Amino acid sequence: MLLNQFLLLAAALFCIGVYGVLTRRNGVLVLMSVELILNAVNINLVAFGAFHDNVLGDVFAVFVIAVAAAEVGVGLAMVLLMYRNRKSIDFTEVDMMKG
């Protein structure tokens, strides 16, 4: 088994995720892209864990999944509230925190 295959896959996934986060205007799609980034990291963790024959990688991946679930819950709730207030989930329109 070659480690670099997994790493390349994870890197590709990560880049797709970053692209999605930076370019998508739809809030739900941005959250989905964040999931891609997180799963890219998970792949890295599991791959390194298997490579080093260390279960800690798997454990961390499970933690990341759990945290990601919570993050999605909070994120979707925010998107929902945003829709209720503005009838839109376009992230580019939300700039009230402008300095």
Q: How far is CA 50 from the centre of its chain?
A: 22
Shortest distance (Å) from residue 99 CB to another protein: 3
Residue closer to another protein by CB (options 48, 91) is 91
Shortest distance (Å) from residue 92 CB to another protein: 6
Q: Which residues make up the interface to another protein (CB under 8 A)?
A: 18, 21-23, 30, 91-92, 94-99
Residue closer to another protein by CB (options 32, 50) is 32
Q: Which two tokens stand for residue 55?
A: 């279960």
Report how far residue 48's alpha carbon sits from residue 97's, in angstroms, rounded to the nearest whole number: 40
